[in-house]
Amino acid sequence: MSLKVRAAVAQMCSGPDVDANLAQADRLIAQAHNEGTQLLVLPENFAVFGRKDLPSIAEPADHSGPIGHFLADAAKKYGLWIIAGTIPYAASRTGVAAPQGKVFPGCSVWSDSGDCVARYDKCHLFDVDVADGVGRYRESDNFAPGDAPVVVPTPWGQLGMSICYDLRFPEYFRQLVNAGATMLVVPAAFTYRTGEAHWEVLLRARAIENQCFVLASGQGGQHDAVRRTWGHSCIIDPWGSVLASCAEESPSLVVADLDFAALADVRRQMPVLQHRRF
């Protein structure tokens, strides 16, 4: 296992046009490659955002559709690991078909050889009322939830997977750490209102209480007449310090070097994970 990795989180402002979104993602992946990145996180809904006909463009569970081919080619071409935000999938990661009219929101992990090595389906769906331009969010109208946390072996250690609304459930992240995670990825599309209030404080809390690096890749910008996302993508260390962040809402790349020897020092000096009583 390597003790260091240069990681990046890509911030996007995706829309309903898949080809345009993939072109935007490709530019950010190329930029990450040029900056020496080995690991890149794309945001939630990076490939399609704001469409209701998701079953018609859903990716097959074997990743053989156009989005899967794009990710495999990009990971291999640029020689980096890609955590692919979310893609609408026609079946769960275990092969169960989505209910009629729905898809699974899946985050896939692609190695630098272009192979899909893991996938996580979002467990917590965003069914809430927010005082913004949209007002009522009901992800369960269009999505089916996943049923299990996923931790992925990488050349730099164990990577714990989450998606957006999962961030509000600390017990979920503790399961990832119990399974060995030292990195936590959070591809997201936080609303502007909830992001302004809670995004950074929740990310820093998950980093501090679990003594992990957190890589948070968000949608950021005005997507249509009413939908605006917070952005502010960032990378946070196990002490809760923000190593790098984006203060804008536009597409951009945030890069930081993760030092796992420093993570080990934090866990040794303050062994809270060993002191748990419950």
Active-site residue, from 44, 59, 139, 249: 44
Cβ neighbours of 247 (radius 10 Å): 10
Contact 214, 241 (CB under 8 A): no
Contact 212, 197 (CB under 8 A): no
Nearest partner of 60 among 41, 23, 87, judged by Cα: 87
- Judge whether 122 counts as a catalytic residue: yes
- Give dist(CA 186, CA 167) in Å, integer: 7
Active-site residue, from 122, 123, 234, 249: 122
Question: Residues, the chain, total?
Answer: 278
Active-site residue, from 13, 164, 212, 246: 164
Which pair of tokens denotes residue 144? 């089916």
- Judge whether 52 counts as a catalytic residue: no
- Give dist(CA 257, CA 170) in Å, integer: 25
- Give dist(CA 64, CA 251) in Å, integer: 27
The three-state (H, E, C) secondary structure of 166-182, written as one string:
HHHCHHHHHHHHHCCEE
Q: Which residue in the block uniquely carries the two structure tokens 């946390």? A: 149
Catalytic residue ranges: 44, 122, 164
